[in-house]
Structure 1
Amino acid sequence: MNRALIVIDVQESFRARPLWATISDPKIADQVNRLVRIARAAGDLVVWVLHHEPGSGDVFDPALGHVRLMEELERTEEEPLIHKTSHNAFTTTNLQQVLTAHGVRELVVCGIRTEQCVETTTRVGSDLGYQVTFVTDATATNPIPHRDAPADRSVADLLADPRTLSADEVLRRTEYALAGRFATIATVDELEAAAERPA
């Protein structure tokens, strides 16, 4: 086993926020499930990562009950479940030790949010020497407000602001930033086709 699928922050916390109405792919769990099936069939390690902020009082505070995998996802008992407090899945966890213990050298990454935790994990993983595949259509994100926009604005105001970066633009820019530098960009369909080809 030298490859691992890293599923990042596909958790109920995001569905508990008003911003979920703007998510690029509300059925992100379906795409993740496809990747999980591919990984398990190949004998790859599947690692589940959840973001939590104990004591914050928001949707990422474990005390509120939202820090759990989306209900459509099914983790098996032997698959590691890691809790992080930083944007990337390495800095505040034992992820690298888990990967080393399993002889992993290649990563396939997916999850929420595309340009934040998933991209940051990809960059750190690449810097640590892993060969990384970033599965863009198994990530999801939201529109990003302009840096000068008020922090407490409504979803309607966010979408009405012409300075807001759309989710589609975020996805496209993330691919451009990662491709050829930090990761290979792939789709779920491409990985499924590769898995079905004779060895």
Structure 2
Amino acid sequence: MSRAALVVIDVQESFRQRPIWAYGSNPDIVGQVDRLVDAARARGDLVVWVLHAEPGTGGVFDPANGHVRLIEGLSAAPGEPTLVKTSHNSFTTTNLQQVLTAAGVREITVCGIRTEQCVETTARVGSDLGYQVTFVTDATMTFPIPHRDLPATATATPEEILADPRTLSNEEIVTRTEYVLAGRFATIRTVAELTGVTPAGARG
């Protein structure tokens, strides 16, 4: 039994189907998550994979369209559970808590897509459930958020979103998430701190 688990959230092909993918905050999301996974496996920690699905919507998160699967370059090892959620956090619509309890886990490390949405929400709920939570920001990814009043927000192009001065940038999103989580819901750590490996080209 392991007291710790790595929860990889929504690093799935669905996001790569959206035009905004090219403007994501972390082009090396797959490499960063893979480093965390390798380190977790080496320590004997549980690795849990979570995917987001919106059945019946006809969109990129509709399992019928084939994109609700781990992004190319990542794969679950035998015995590693893959859970499918329909809520923002990874607990409410899955048996994640049961899986963690059965494994004796009290500490979780979270990473994935999107920084301020499903990953942050999972960190908050996990903390409220009594888990010690580590949030690995540089193994998360997000995208610019349009202002709620942007005309046709649902269909706006990346260029329209980026041209609007009210758009929340990737940097602003990441900074805000770290501020609201640290000291309240999670400890903020980096991939290098958790693995001892600094990705090539990364700044110290």
Give the TM-score normalised by the residue count of structure 1: 0.96
Correspondence 1:38-57 to 2 at 5 A:
38-57=39-58
Q: How high is the sequence identity, in percent, across the aligned residues?
A: 71
Point out where structure 2 has 5 or more consecutive residues left out of the alignment: 198-204
Give 1:70's aligned residue: 71
Question: Which residue does the alignment assign to 1:108?
Answer: 109
1:189 corresponds to: 192
| 1:167 matched residue in structure 2 | 170
Superposition deviation, residue 26 in structure 1:
2.2
Give the match's secondary structure for 2:51: strand
Gaps of 5+ in 1: 195-199
In structure 2, the residue matched to 1:197 is: none
Alignment of 1:1-199 (within 5 A): 1-150=2-151, 151=153, 152-193=155-196
Aligned-residue offset at 1:22 = 1.1
Deviation for aligned residue 1:193: 2.9
Which SS does the other structure have where 2:196 is aligned?
helix
Question: In the TM superposition, what whole-angstrom CA distance separates every residue of 1:87-110 from its partner, at most 9, and x where no partner exists?
Answer: 000000000000000000000000
CA-CA distance at 1:161 after TM superposition: 0.5
Q: Secondary structure at the match of 2:92?
A: coil
Structure 1 residue 74 displacement after superposition: 2.0
CA distance in 2, matches of 1:21, 1:192: 27
String of CA shifts for 1:17-46, please: whole Å, max 9, x gaps: 111111111220100000001100000000
- Normalising by structure 2, we get a TM-score of 0.93
Q: Provide the alpha-carbon RMSD of the alignment.
A: 0.9
Secondary structure at the residue paired with 1:134?
strand
